[in-house]
Amino acid sequence: MNKEYQYRKEIFELREYLKKVDREKAFYEEKFNTIINSKSWKYTEFIRSITSKIKKSKKLEQDVEPVVEYDYHKEKAYDSHYEENFDFSKINPLIKTIAFYLPQFHSIPENDKWWGKNFTEWTNTKKSKPRFDGHYMPREPHEDFGYYTLDNIDIIKKQIELAKSHGIYGFAFYYYWFSGKRLLEKPVDLLLEHKEIDFPFVLCWANENWTRTWDGLEKNILIEQKYLDEDPQKFIDDWKKYTEDKRYIRIQNKPLLMVYNPKDIPDFEEVCKKWRNRAREIGIGEIEIWSKTIVHMKDYSNTPFVDGEFDFAPTQLSLPNDKITGINEEANVLNYSKIVESLRTVYKNHYPLKKFSYSVTMGWDNSARREKGYTVLYNYSLESFYKWTTMVMNKMFENDFSDTFLFVNAWNEWGEGTYLEPDKKYGYANINTLSKAICGIPFKANLKVMNQVDQLKRKQNFKILVQAHVFYPDVLPEMLNELKKIPYKFDLFITTNTKEKKEEIAKILKDEKIKKYQIDTYPNHGRDILPMILQTKKIYQNYDYFLHLHTKKSATTNFGNDWRRYVYKNILGNTENILAIFNEFLDNPKLGVIYSIPYPRIFYSLIESTGAIENNKENMEKLFQKLGIDLSEINYFLTFPTSSMFWAKMDAIKEIFTSVTKEDFEEEDGQLDGTMAHAIERCFSVLAQKNGYTSLEIINRIKEQE
């Protein structure tokens, strides 16, 4: 048990103690009430009431924040664009992502009886219409899938193929179980029959009554959750066959049972005990129980009885200031982007007592299901969805709890307007955006996965300058090993900061049989950036291509070595990858800068804190003005080589060497961010763009040749 968890446990115990105090408080309040009901107390009631009103009025003036309402004319209802499918199968996701899966896309006798023949989720989505200007309705599936039915295993296979190609780990099927009666079980049972489909899955008991919400008659119950005494035993008996499947998701070898609405279950603690006992009796063994909770309400009432918790976006995520007015008084219209921003504080102040999995959702809209009283997450955008997902990723990386997931609502909730499946209007934009976030790819990255070299273009008439800042000479052999993989001739220029290091570097170069090089010493000023500029300033015009490296260790983190090796692998790594890099340069004359996608551990904290811009804005403004760059290029999603190691065409970035001087740099004082060196690191792609060039972020997936 780590210290943070111990602290959380102590908080929980303190809350239990406070409950005891509250009970004692109630006892003394009863005595107090006896006093205030006396005659003498009543005689002074009028004076006390006036005093109380005056105090209350002053407190309201000081404490109550005015509700901010957003006029819908000033916001865009749904901000997206069409995207083709991008294959992410060559990129490793950084967290296990599970999408909630709605099985209501095939007809069943009960729905036929309640709603009409052949009723499915498509019935209402097909009939939906826009309710206001800009309202994205109807939602129509992409022709790649069409109006499918889930009694067809080929459709399920196709869905899983798409999910796997986008780095999604598994599906959470809604499990509709009513005292032994099952509804909509066909899709998950089909998956159970087809063992050849390699894809993890889990069941989430959707333990709610089914009502006529589609026509506004919520009190008209179609099928009820009765929670009978024998239900816990029967439930586990029915659940067992799924847990016996090797694909069923387990936590430390215990099958996972998710409970959607634990608060509706009478005596949930006792039910959990019965589930665990029955699982042991029938051979399942120990089980893992997770319950849904509301992330910002800090409700720990069920925490002692379960092994983990999860939230379910967008349940109760809105705040008063998220309302959008002026659309329809019968609609609950909330500002998606403002909700995302408010969650930054919610997550910061959330300290789960047990393992906790967070969730995200897209442009949620259930107007297809309701004539009145529908809810719309207005002002949805791909950018906000990406922010939300990366925010959750950063929070989950901060927690030490293992065996947690990112949940997405949902794979296919077409009637609620939130789905990862492609649609006719915007294609694969939602699922592509999710995959970028879970794979650590910048939102606006121009991404290339290097996985093969179709044609080796061994053009030899260009000149390459490799400039390396060697602050840590012990890393130099590792760097030289990478440089030996370059299949072209290059000139090696090295900077360091002391005479002793220069001598040590010279000895290493001699031992490595490097014959042609130059070593210059500069004061420890401007990190690796200022030495790079001062040395290259004299020689840049003699070269066509430029590679900057340094011996990164990052004394402020415990993953500096991994970060360095990650970047080395992506921009060097093997000869085939370097050939592929030069193929990109040669195929595209207007490609100016190539660099690695960010190292994940630094990327999520950078996105979360907006440190890419906010902490560096002052120096960036000074630098960009000097370079003649339009300041409008500075935005939240600015991409740049986060390690300041990159390949470039010299013409794309040469102003760095002609315009920047050592006087632009502040003195070294142990700064972790916000220096001119950090500002310059953020300018390379924008400078290339100003000069008519593009940038490319790469991942090396080319295997070493045997």
Mean pLDDT value across residues 320-332? 75
Token output for 195: 């063992």
Mean pLDDT is lowest, of 27-36, 517-526, 568-577, for: 27-36
Q: CA 433, CA 449: separation in Å to the nearest integer?
A: 16
pLDDT, position 10: 65
Do 550 and 476 form a contact (C-beta atoms < 8 A)? Answer: no
Q: CA 536, CA 658: separation in Å to the nearest integer?
A: 10
pLDDT, position 71: 63
Considering the entire predicted model, what is its pTM? Answer: 0.85
Terminal-to-terminal C-alpha distance of the chain: 44
Is the model's pLDDT at 38 over the cut of 60? no
343-402 pLDDT per residue, tens:
988 888 888 888 999 999 999 999 998 888 889 999 999 999 999 999 999 888 877 667
Is the model's pLDDT at 311 over the cut of 70? yes
Is the model's pLDDT at 60 over the cut of 50? no
Is the model's pLDDT at 63 over the cut of 60? no
Q: Which of 58-72, 289-303, 461-475 has the highest mean pLDDT?
A: 461-475
Pick the more confident residue, 610 or 438. Answer: 438
Token output for 647: 């390949």
Contacts (Cβ under 8 Å, ≥6 apart) of 369: 124, 213, 214, 415, 416
Q: CA 4, CA 573: separation in Å to the nearest integer?
A: 38
472-529 pLDDT per residue, tens:
999 999 999 999 999 999 999 999 999 999 999 999 999 998 889 999 999 999 999 9
Pick the more confident residue, 600 or 233. Answer: 233
Q: CA 534, CA 495: separation in Å to the nearest integer?
A: 10
Is the model's pLDDT at 36 over the cut of 50? no
Q: Please choose, from the candidates 529, 556, 567, 534, the residue with its C-alpha nearest in 3D space to the C-alpha of residue 643.
A: 567
What is residue 333's three-state secondary structure?
A: strand
Q: CA 115, CA 110: separation in Å to the nearest integer?
A: 8
Question: pLDDT tier at 207 (50, 70, 90 boundaries)?
Answer: very high
pLDDT, position 630: 80
Is the model's pLDDT at 673 over the cut of 90? no
Is the model's pLDDT at 54 over the cut of 90? no
Instruction: Spell out the alpha helix ranges (H) of 598-640.
Output: 600-609, 617-627
